């Protein structure tokens, strides 16, 4: 099972900005993720095309499972 950490920020006009980090290998918790997201905003290093993140909104862990139906 593969896990992806999805970080969701808002920009100055409250538009959503998503950043996905694939293949998480260590467990994460709310405090660590919030702290990291706030540091990314403080360091002002994220420059997505959609806008500059100004506020932490949420974070999700997405589980992806592949089930083989058949193989030849």
> Which tens digits make up the pLDDT trace of 12-69?
999 999 999 999 988 899 999 999 999 999 999 988 887 899 999 999 999 988 788 9
Owning domain of residue 48: 2-64
* pTM of this structure: 0.83
Q: Is residue 72 part of a domain?
A: no
Band of pLDDT at residue 1, cut at 50, 70 and 90? low
Q: Is residue 21 part of a domain?
A: yes
Tally the domains of the chain: 1
Q: Please say whether the beta carbons of 50 and 12 come within 8 A.
A: no
The residues facing 55 across adjacent strands are 10
Q: Is residue 53 part of a domain?
A: yes
What is the biggest distance separating any 2 CA atoms in the chain, rounded to whole angstroms?
A: 52
User: Which is more confidently placed, 14 or 72?
Assistant: 14
């Amino acid at each position: 099972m593969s896990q992806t950490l999805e970080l969701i920020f808002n920009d100055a006009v409250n538009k959503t900005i998503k950043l996905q980090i694939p293949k998480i290998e260590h467990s994460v918790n709310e405090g660590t993720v919030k702290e990291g997201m706030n540091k990314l905003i403080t360091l002002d290093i994220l420059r997505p095309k959609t806008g500059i993140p100004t506020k932490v909104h949420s974070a999700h862990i997405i589980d992806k499972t592949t089930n083989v139906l058949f193989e030849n």
